[in-house]
Amino acid sequence: MRHQEPPVTAVQQALRRRRRRRLPLTLLALAVVLAGVLVLAIGLPTLWRYSGESVRHYADPETHFWHGSIGSEPASGLPVRLWRVLPELFPETLGEEGYAVFGFLYAPGDSLAAGDLPIGVGTREVRGVELGWLNCAVCHTGTVRHSPEAQPRLISGMPANHLDLYGFITFLMDIADDPRLAPEPVFQAMESQGQELGWIERLIWRHVVLPRVREGLLETRAMLGPLLAVQPSWGPGRVDTFNPYKLIQFDMAVDDLTKAERIGTADFPSIFLQRPRQGMDLHWDGNNASLQERNLSAALGAGVTEESVDHVAIERVADWLLDLAPPASPYQPDPARVTAGKALYMRHCADCHGYQEGERFVFEGERLGTVLSNDVLNADPARLDSYTETLRRDQLTLFADDERYRFRHFRKTDGYANQPLDGLWLRAPYLHNGSVPTLHDLLLPPAERPVAFVRGLDVLDGTKGGFVAPACTPGEPLEKGFCFDTRLPGNGNQGHVYGTGLTAEERAVLLDYLLTF
């Protein structure tokens, strides 16, 4: 006899329908769990990678000087991968030379072709992206050659005689909204160089990294563009020391600056032998006597912020510079003429600038490292006027919560500091704004000094002291270098008439002595 199932009630039918629906829901839940596991397996390493910071350390102090991070990258840096492809994306500007067109230098063994970054660009990984930006060496490493055919000799601590920082900044502002910075052209350039991006990295670069790069460049253009538009091009080896600082650090606008303070362009200084300079009036206008504050202020100018600054890295460079001596002068003038020139120098110059004794520079002089009023010196006043009492007050608010680094010593002066002349053979052109090409020209009355000359070259002029600097006509193209016009605002070559009243022979033997510095 067949067994009969009891009749199915309405409640039982509902339960069975619920069980039939539960199987797909259970499979969906399982799929979600599996997907979650997969996301965790991939995502946790990704999240770990795209968080925090890491920085590379260099055992050799000079390599650290060239390539070490000072903390400028988080706020100002460009991705290293982008540094490598910009020459390919913008060949009309960078061409085969790459960043060398702006005077960037490479350490021995490094090259653009190998993907290396220039001297003066430090790196730091920030939230999984390696960023590169400027450090101390970018403004304080240069080259010299004894003849046009000679290989350049790289010297750390001398002014960056080639570096066209104005041109580099202008280039970055010009490409801020260029379609070649869109994801696809950038990815294609990376692939052509063998730079592989995984699909997660592509997403991050497409939606985070490249948009932030573009936003940062546009913001920089909005801040600095109006300032650069009212200034003559700085030319190689020069920088406006404090005006970009005002706009970036203190949110000022060009309209907030008086007409007198808008051009503060000056030469990059040498940074040899900092220990004997402790307590001297530092910067061209002598506005601070603290090495630590001078160094930290320079780092802010290079792009660090109060939050991102790497004090340990900066202090390591500062310690190395305390005793970094310039290489000895290669010139060996007639000893009798050097002796005669030294006697004149000790009478007319040593009190303000110290003196050379054989291969040793002597940091002695009653007015050495002190400010001489520009009413007396009568040099171009633009760099002096660019540093204002308003800026001084703003600077005193920096690092206010940290007694170790808070600015205390900045002051407004009325002139320019009497600089020690160690390594003088490496420091042309001369005067604070680099408006006099050679030592020979500096000993001439201002009316007889060159009006326009080529700067940015590194071939030594063993006769006149400095670098070869032929006359030029502003506006006409040059094969190499930059035509510097002393008639433009901030470029004046007047003042510092010391020694100009000597006879021609006296100036000649004085020059022979100066060539030994």
DSSP state of 255: G
Side-chain-facing half-sphere of 413: CA atoms under 13 Å: 24
* Sequence-distant (≥ 6) Cβ neighbours of residue 171 within 8 angstroms: 90, 93, 102
- Report how far residue 369's alpha carbon sits from residue 110's, in angstroms, rounded to the nearest whole number: 38
Tell me if 327 sits within 8 A of 155, measured CB to CB.
Answer: yes
- Indicate the SS3 state at residue 47: helix
Distances (CA, A) of 463 to 18, 407, 515: 101, 44, 9
Angle formed at CA 173 by CA 115 and CA 130, multiple of 5 degrees: 35
Tell me if 433 sits within 8 A of 267, measured CB to CB.
Answer: yes
Helices assigned H by DSSP within 54-109: 61-67, 73-76, 80-89, 91-94
Q: How far apart are the first and last CA of the chain?
A: 124
Cis ω before 429 (30° cut-off from 0): yes
**One digit per residue, pLDDT tens: the chain, 517 residues?**
334 434 433 333 333 333 333 322 222 232 333 333 333 334 434 443 455 789 999 999 999 999 999 999 999 999 999 999 999 999 999 999 999 999 999 999 999 999 999 999 999 999 999 999 999 999 999 999 999 999 999 999 999 999 999 999 999 999 999 999 999 999 999 999 999 999 999 999 999 999 999 999 999 999 999 999 999 999 999 999 999 999 999 999 999 999 999 999 999 999 999 999 999 999 999 999 999 999 999 999 999 999 999 999 999 999 999 999 999 999 999 999 999 999 999 999 999 999 999 999 999 999 999 999 999 999 999 999 999 999 999 999 999 999 999 999 999 999 999 999 999 999 999 999 999 999 999 999 999 999 999 999 999 999 999 999 999 999 999 999 999 999 999 999 999 999 999 999 999 999 999 999 9
Strand locations in 96-166 (E) = 121-126, 129-134, 141-144, 153-156
Tell me if 481 sits within 8 A of 456, measured CB to CB.
Answer: yes
Side-chain-facing half-sphere of 120: CA atoms under 13 Å: 26
Classify 249 in phi/psi space as left (phi over 0), alpha (psi -120 to 50) or beta: alpha
Q: State the pLDDT at residue 139.
A: 98
- Indicate the SS3 state at residue 416: strand
Q: Is the dihedral of CA 301, 303, 305, 311 positive or negative?
A: negative
- Indicate the SS3 state at residue 62: helix
Task: Using the structure block, give the residue that is written with the tokens 């020694």.
Answer: 499
Distances (CA, A) of 183 to 8, 221, 289, 481: 64, 21, 48, 35
Q: State the pLDDT at residue 403.
A: 92
Tokens of residue 400, six digits: 């206010």
Nearest CA to 165 among 267, 294, 318?
267
What DSSP element (H or E) covers 455?
Answer: strand 452-455
Nearest CA to 360 among 418, 420, 442?
420
Beta pairing class for 153-156 and 141-144: antiparallel
Nearest CA to 301 among 61, 56, 70, 57?
70
Q: Is the dihedral of CA 429, 289, 68, 60 positive or negative?
A: positive
Nearest CA to 186 among 83, 102, 116?
83
Task: Using the structure block, give the residue that is written with the tokens 């204002």.
Answer: 388
Nearest CA to 331 among 122, 124, 512?
512
Tokens of residue 243, six digits: 């005006």
